Structure 1
Amino acid sequence: RTEMLFLGRADMPGEDEQEARVGAMIAPFQGRPVVVRLLDAGADKPVPFLALASEENPALGVRGVRALLRRPDFCAAHLRALLRAGAGHDLRIMVPMVTFAAELRAIRDLLAAAARDVGCSPPPLGAMIEVPAAALTVPDLLAASDFFSIGTNDLTQYVLAADRGHKDLPGFADAGHPAVIGLCARVCRDAGAVPVSVCGEAAGDPPTARLLVEAGIRKLSMGAARLSTLRAAFSASAS
């Protein structure tokens, strides 16, 4: 995630700063695939220098790729910095909050231009599946996406129509709900041979992770602190 480079900043970090900080994060993973998500601004991630308007319902407003495409100048600089930081690494770039294939194609065009500027080949580009419409139209996204990552935190709140942080609706933040798991299974089926992973709190929760694996997911992304617990849970069930 790249948000830590930008949150609360009134000024836009330059390409050199972005390259240095992202490069330091990537460096330990030499030889391993590294997926870097483009800035997911908006909603609960305010980025003052983007000057996004205040919204009554920011979770349904200008965020993720919608915000990036409103500032193609920033997005181009962001992409160039990531490409330079990822030089010599197995870099992949992920686009947040995709709804339409046209959004992904627009980012791919910006990525191609950034790669020409940097003098490298464009790395694989993937879409985050967080919007129900995207989950239901994966066949339309296939031509523009090299991989998919299901973001269960946002997908759950959009499917169950409940703010995941609402203090009076804690039971609605259930990524194991049949409707959510059903969409994940559909994404896996429709993606065919295109890789699908899952990120979000659900990936590190053993009962929900089991449902995701049963739905066809084979890659789970979580905080390192949860790895041992999840590994133990799956090992116990296999014995």
Structure 2
Amino acid sequence: MENCARFASDLEKGGGTMYTLSDTLHGCTIAHQPVLLDTAKGRYLTLRGDASRSLLDAVERQMPSAMEDMLRCHGLLAWDAKAQVRVHDAPVVTRSRREDLSQTVPGKRVMAALGKRLAARHHLRGRPFGETLQALRDAVAPKRSPARWRRSHGEAEIATAFACSRLWLAGDGRCVPDSLALASVLARHGHRPRIVIGVCLPIAAHCWVQCEDRLISDRLEAITPFHPIWST
């Protein structure tokens, strides 16, 4: 019931939670409108009218059976599958490591970051969306690395190296593989990154990396328009 109350309160404010409706269907609410991420088909979509009201009511009351027929009719739930309702707190960001890039990093670390970006793009090229999300989950998993590596590079230092490497790829923003690369490096050095996908209306999406409430991949203004809909 606590989840229901939190969802109802957030619904009045127009956001604040994410919810899972099946293994391949995730959602959030923006200005009283549900936005869904269908990972099986790699698409974002919005629901309107009766479909929107049915979904929001079912999520608020924690009654997934009430929305199963609607989801099936929209091709969002297999006919032999069961819906579920799990409400999650959206990740919170209060500051960004990208706000202070005053420190310098060796050129070899910038080149290493660039290499990680390019390798991640090659790794994800042509993959189905579901496999891409699994790669993101794998990237944030704790790594067994040499003791000398653990926390040998701080969050700000890694953020600076990746920010500088972006200059070599100007105008070529690919937030998903870039987040994969950054999270992998953070995890390798003993940090605990989280990859988040956010959406805004009209439908647009962005992927970023944070450690607890600290944004690593972007400046704060870059993610402000986006509402989290999925995270590792």
Tell me the TM-score normalized by structure 2: 0.30
Give the structure with higher Rg (CA).
2
The answer to which structure, 1 or 2, has the higher relative contact order (CA under 8 A, 6+ apart) is 2
* Greater fraction helix: 1
